[in-house]
Amino acid sequence: MSASSALAAFAALCRICFAKSNNSSIIERRLAIPEFNSFPCSVSWTETTVYSPHPTLGLSPSGKTTRGNPMSVSARTFFYIQQVEQLIRRRLDECLLAIDITAGQYMVLNLIAHHEPISSADLARKTMMTAQSMGEFIRALEAKKLVERQSTQLNKRTMLISSTAAGRKVLIRCESKIDEAERDFFSCLSGEDLASLRILMSRVRSAQLGKLAKEIDSTTPSI
């Protein structure tokens, strides 16, 4: 599948996901009418005469009006991705509610389980969070007894974080719930579409992380 076909599939996923929301009729109207579109768009306009049988649109009794008409609408890819990310986060929070863990806490617990023992600073770097935000996640997981901190033998001031037995059991439950939610969320795509989407997102992610690493290296003073 070409990159353009995969991006078209991604756009279709966005529209299908929006249609499933409680405000589907409002969202559909916003997608159809540029002036109410929630996405920043690049739009070109021409002056045209419009005839409509719908008086609710504020037209004259004859149904005739002159207004700007969009020739082309190009929704920003940034905001398609942002909206899908928000929908995914909402779905994760919903499916994890019964386990009493948030999407953010699950992400951090998952990282700890796969990289333990690990320091809070390393976790913050992996997630591109601030040290303060990561500290809040770790304290929340500690309060639930899902992770624990221990000092290292070489440096008593460095605390390494590991998952507890209870934390690993919770993580298994989370993975089962998320597997089910992920299958449902992407059920509008074929297996080929989903594989192409993953490849494209991975390519973008790797490229941007590479750029970020170069920027950090260029601003780090040499010793």
Is the alpha carbon torsion for 114, 120, 126, 127 positive or negative? positive
CA dist 88 and 68 (Å) reads 36
- Does 93 have pLDDT greater than 80? yes
Question: Position 104: which residue type?
Answer: G
- Does 6 have pLDDT greater than 90? no
Specify whether the CB–CB gap between 164 and 147 falls below 8 A.
Answer: yes
Q: What is the pLDDT of residue 15?
A: 56
Specify whether the CB–CB gap between 3 and 42 falls below 8 A.
Answer: no
Q: Which CATH class is domain 80-189?
A: mainly alpha
- pLDDT confidence tier of residue 158, bands split at 50, 70 and 90: confident
Specify whether the CB–CB gap between 108 and 127 falls below 8 A.
Answer: yes
- Does 138 have pLDDT greater than 90? yes
Q: What is the pLDDT of residue 29?
A: 36
- Does 71 have pLDDT greater than 60? no
Eight-class DSSP state of 52: -
Mean pLDDT of 17-29: 44
- Does 204 have pLDDT greater than 80? yes
**Choice between 218 and 132, residue whose per-residue pLDDT is larger:** 132
Eight-class DSSP state of 216: H
- Chain centroid to Cα 2, Å, comes to 23
- Does 23 have pLDDT greater than 50? no
- Does 179 have pLDDT greater than 60? yes
Please report where in the chains the tokens 């529209």 appear, as a residue: 15
Is the alpha carbon torsion for 187, 188, 191, 197 positive or negative? negative
> Where are the domain boundaries for CATH 1.10.10.10 in the chain?
80-189
